[in-house]
Amino acid sequence: MIDRLIENIQKKNNPSVVGLDPTIAMMPEGLKKKYFEEYGETAEGIAAMFEEFNRNIIDAVADIVPAVKPQIAMYEKFGESGIRAYNRTCRYAAEKGLTVIGDIKRGDISSTAAAYAAHLDGAETGSRREATWWEDSVTVNPYLGTDGIKPFTDACAAAGKGIFVLVRTSNPSSSEIQMLELADGRKVYEAVGELTAEWGSSLIGKFGYSEVGAVVGATHKEEGERLRAALPHTFFLVPGYGAQGGTAEDVAGFFDARGLGAIISSSRGITAAYRKMEGCGEENYADAAAAAAAEMRDTLRAALARRTE
């Protein structure tokens, strides 16, 4: 995954990823009318609506961004129908050549983690193996330690896939556990960062980055820069840009000297851009997303260029 992701980033000269986190509130009125008329106000109809919305967003941004990051919770909320929409969204994006980062934040003990690893390398179904999910990479939670991570790294090695371990998340309460100070002077997130580097040490690709990356929030400029220096082989997936408060200047130090090493995520700021653009009819939501994605790309490019001046 990591080499293809970086090649995609270089080809589009854009280190950003569009979060596909649909909500009913985000949907254009015309789309809601269409699906509520066909399905009633049902989970099945909402899932089908999300799928159409996502397809149009993906078509609009596919030439601009290297990757998409659907957040499974927004689909899982709607049960089986939602999971189907998630899977179809991932598959559609992959077919368009985008790297698909499934934001699933799974984590469990070894035998259970091995079951979750089907997100990366499919499920044995008797004497054959079946693809049951369509991500190139997924986010995982480290709280259970190495034996909960190893099945994922095994799947990465077997299938050329990747993971991003939660190290320093973007949300306000993230410090409660992640910033606790340890007896040896480190913070909890630093200990988790070091474990993350160990977990990825045998999966380093041609750009010097591992299939095992880290989630580091744009809202934590200082810790992001410290982690960048401490973990030279760990690629960062960076949420918290835009709506959550992180700026291009905040994240510029999350990149290495080559301008690699991080991919910045924005969700609402792209997919709901049509609501904030003056004179933009809601039917043009996909064009608005493309414009917002291009603007974010240019803002990040400029911040990285300023850094090296």
* HSE-CB of 62 using CA atoms within 13 angstroms: 14
- SS3 (DSSP) at 42: coil
189-228 binders of a second copy (CB under 8 A): 191-192, 195
47-106 binders of a second copy (CB under 8 A): 71, 73-74, 76-80, 82-84, 87, 105-106
DSSP-assigned beta bridge partners for residue 139: 164
Catalytic residue, from 12, 34, 96, 105: name it.
105
240-299 binders of a second copy (CB under 8 A): none
For CA atoms 74, 80, 83, 85, the dihedral sign is: negative
For the record, the structure tokens of 198 come out as 């160990």
- Cα(11)–Cα(288) distance, rounded to whole angstroms? 22
31 sits near a second copy (criterion: CB under 8 A): no
DSSP-assigned beta bridge partners for residue 140: 106, 165
Among 175, 247, 284, 299, binds a second copy (CB under 8 A): 175
Q: From the CB of 244, what's the least distance to a second copy, in Å?
A: 8
Q: Which is nearer to a second copy, 62 or 68 (CB)?
A: 68
Q: From the CB of 62, what's the least distance to a second copy, in Å?
A: 24
38 sits near a second copy (criterion: CB under 8 A): no
CA dihedral 229, 231, 235, 241 (to 10 degrees): -50
User: For this structure, is 105 an active site residue?
Assistant: yes
106-135 binders of a second copy (CB under 8 A): 106-110, 112-113, 115-116, 118, 123-128, 130, 132-133
